[in-house]
Chain A
Amino acid sequence: MNYLQELEAEAIYVFREIAAQFKKPVLLFSGGKDSTLLIHLAAKAFYPMSIPFPVMHVDTGHNFEEALRFRDQLVQQKGLKLIVRKVEDSIIKYGIEEPVEKLPSRNVLQSITLMDAIREFGFDACIGSGRRDEEKARAKERFFSVRDKEGKWQPYNQKPELWNIYNGYIDEGENMRVFPISNWTEMDVWQYIRQENIALPSLYFSHERSCIVHNGRLIAVSEYIKIDDEDIRLTENVRYRTVGDMTCTAAIKSDARTIDEVIREIETSNISERGETRIDDQLSDAAMEDRKLQGYF
């Protein structure tokens, strides 16, 4: 087997373990490239049957239109059941004060909405597209990662996980997060997308966009961010290397219009994927670890 076949086989095996070991799994889907890859892998894992669990989008309300459109198309095309739960509703329900920064991100609040949805539907496993290669806290996570009753990750008390034998036993109220593409790098994802001819939202390819420059990063002009007179608006050829939402993801200057061009661009880039694009990781040295401790994906 070459490495892509090996990574694919590993992911498919994990998907089948999820279906066999859990009563009510859900796949977390945002319309981004990694969760799109998950849907394609799941479809392959269960063919000729359809995917035996629903997908859920935890919606910050600050989405890129293109990602939402793509999400709905893929769900329809694959005949999936889509659940959408909105951060907006959690804000109202709990009387949470909206963030008021220049880029008022609801990223951290997603954990509250996610945990509520887990309780509402009784999901015992949430399938996520986290990759160990993305971020240093994620690099520490198991394929099967237990969240306690409050949704917290316990990084200092993870279960042993040997070979491909996954222990899916959890207590009532606990929740498993499962990461089938743990061992994939950004480049592996793109190579596989090329190999399997997987469609992605247009955001991942070069397009013209009106942006402001904030802390050296290109942020798309939208109704969700606060723009004042001092901001300089630029129209640039950009693409997104990761897609969170419009308040937490930065665009990069790019002329890469095809998968091949994107792959070439990533190969020569001297900046990491999240380092280049994720504002939510820059809050502190352990921003991801902190969010994971609170129930984040």
Chain B
Amino acid sequence: MELLRFTTAGSIDDGKSTLTGRLLYDTGNIKDDVLESVSKVGNTINLAHITDGLRSERAGGITIDIGYRYFKTNNRKYIISDAPGHFQYTKNMVTGASNVDVMIILVDARNGITSQTRLHSLVASFLRTRYVVVAINKMDALAYAEDVFESTRIEYRSIAEKLQLRDVIFIPISALHGDNVSAHSENMPWYNGPDLLSFLEQCDTQKTANGPGRLSIQYTAEDESTGRTLYFGKVLSVEIHKGERLTVFPSGNEVLIEKYISGYEELETAKAGENICLELNTNDGVKRGSILAPLTHSPQCTKHLTADICWLDPEIDCDQNKEFILRINTQESICRFRDIEYRINPFSFDKERVAGLKVNEVASVIIETEIPIAYDNYDVCPENARGIIIDPATHNTVAAIMIH
């Protein structure tokens, strides 16, 4: 059985938590005692209460931080990150969206596309989210009229094009009443596409596995029984074979894998996503943060990198005189921002020159690191193309980067 991760995005009050509650309810994934604990209006349960877990969230009726929920059908297991819609909590929404296969962006049919719809679409574009489902919600409030759905769809098409979103699907729904959520709605005979759950059940979750092999070293330790150094790491893409000669980055040394362990077993080949333990023919220049790559397919390895950035800290600015810490998978270096090439205007999505960056802004920056960093483009090896920026003074994660 496969796992699908998705998130719900959209403006405050567009019905994200209600939709999550509806999906859990319709698939029989809410237990009786949990149902009893949520409030009711008349006979209708407050579906949003199922996911709002913090006292202030329940009291205020808003989602502040991501709430994770789990459900399963006969086909798949699902992890939902129920994200906040309010502008000031967008940084939490980015956390919830970073790992998903599908971002569902809810649009209130009565209000149409809002600035938050645009911002969340920009986040999907930044994160390169595989699928964006635009769920046009509260169709019941507009007598399930097709023209509202159509006009929103046309308007969003231009956003998707400008942001180069990958696959975009449009579904008219009512989360409150369950229309087109887990079954095709009889109230909207004009809609011929899949209901939301059918889409989630069928969409392709295969992570592409092209490109060259990459192995990242996470942790090293000495095996006291043999006196040998053990290298714990992860295969980031494709596969790496025992006996294969590899180049270590950034040191440039050449190594040979002598022993390969995954779980309790010795292996000949390890595939993308596997956590492995290695013994090498030499300990020279291999440590946490090292990238091992085939001799013929090197990653970029420089002290200058150009990256898309999403700023996440409300208090600290992207100051070009300040030192930060860059982390890409397990590699780390002190860094500085050399230039902000452009910011993407959150409304028009045009590129524009700016002096600094503020919270929730997406831009392109040039970063200079103290030590060389071995990275790839997102299309070559996603896991070696994304990183975070940490402020050494507050230890906060202040930004996320993607190398395209």
**Within 8 Å CB of A171, what residues of B?**
395
Q: Is the beta-carbon distance between B95 and A160 smaller than 8 angstroms?
A: yes
Q: Is the beta-carbon distance between A162 and B67 smaller than 8 angstroms?
A: no
> Contacts A47-B264, A156-B56, A162-B95 hold; do A16 and B219 have CB atoms under 8 A apart?
yes
Chain A nearest CB from B357 CB (Å) reads 15
> Contacts A20-B330, A158-B92, A167-B397 hold; do A272 and B223 have CB atoms under 8 A apart?
no
Q: A170 interface residue, CB < 8 Å from B? A: yes
Q: Is the beta-carbon distance between A16 and B218 smaller than 8 angstroms?
A: yes
Q: A280 interface residue, CB < 8 Å from B? A: no
**Within 8 Å CB of A270, what residues of B?**
31-32
Q: Is the beta-carbon distance between A160 and B51 smaller than 8 angstroms?
A: no
Q: How many Å lie between the Cα of A224 and that of B54 in the bound state?
A: 32
Q: Is the beta-carbon distance between A137 and B3 smaller than 8 angstroms?
A: no
Q: Is the beta-carbon distance between B31 and A271 smaller than 8 angstroms?
A: yes
> Contacts A140-B65, A162-B98 hold; do A285 and B261 have CB atoms under 8 A apart?
no
Q: Which residue of B lies closest to A290 (CB)?
A: B55
Contact with A along B50-75 (1 / 0, CB 8 A): 01111110100000111111101000
Checking A3, A158, A160, A165 against B77 with a beta-carbon cut-off of 8 angstroms, the contacting residue is A3
Q: Is the beta-carbon distance between B55 and A156 smaller than 8 angstroms?
A: no
Q: Which B residues from 293 to 330 make CB contacts under 8 A with A?
A: 312, 325, 327, 329-330
Q: How many Å lie between the Cα of A97 and that of B180 in the bound state?
A: 57
Q: A198 interface residue, CB < 8 Å from B? A: no
Checking A12, A170, A272 against B34 with a beta-carbon cut-off of 8 angstroms, the contacting residue is A272
Which of B136-144, B169-177, B270-278 lines the interface with chain A?
B270-278
Q: Which residue of A lies closest to B288 (CB)?
A: A20
**Within 8 Å CB of A19, what residues of B?**
219, 221, 232
Q: Is the beta-carbon distance between A161 and B95 smaller than 8 angstroms?
A: yes
> Contacts A47-B264, A162-B95 hold; do A133 and B234 have CB atoms under 8 A apart?
no
> Contacts A155-B54, A160-B312 hold; do A275 and B34 have CB atoms under 8 A apart?
yes
Q: Is the beta-carbon distance between B1 and A137 smaller than 8 angstroms?
A: no
Checking A137, A156, A162 against B400 with a beta-carbon cut-off of 8 angstroms, the contacting residue is A162
Contact with B along A253-269 (1 / 0, CB 8 A): 00000000000000001
What residues make up the interface of B, taking CB atoms closer than 8 Å to A? 1-3, 31-34, 37, 51-56, 58, 64-70, 72, 77, 79, 91-92, 94-95, 98-99, 218-219, 221, 223-225, 230, 232, 234, 261, 263-264, 273-275, 277, 288, 312, 325, 327, 329-330, 383, 386-388, 390, 392, 395-397, 400
Known: A47-B263, A156-B54, A160-B91. 10 other contacts (CB 8 A): A2-B3, A17-B218, A20-B219, A136-B53, A136-B54, A139-B53, A140-B53, A155-B54, A169-B395, A269-B31
Q: Which 6 A-B pairs have the closest CB atoms?
A: A136-B53, A275-B33, A169-B395, A3-B3, A162-B98, A272-B31
What residues make up the interface of A, taking CB atoms closer than 8 Å to B? 1-3, 6-7, 9, 12-13, 16-17, 19-20, 44-49, 52, 132-133, 135-140, 142, 155-156, 158-165, 167, 169-171, 182-183, 185, 187, 269-272, 275-276, 285-286, 289
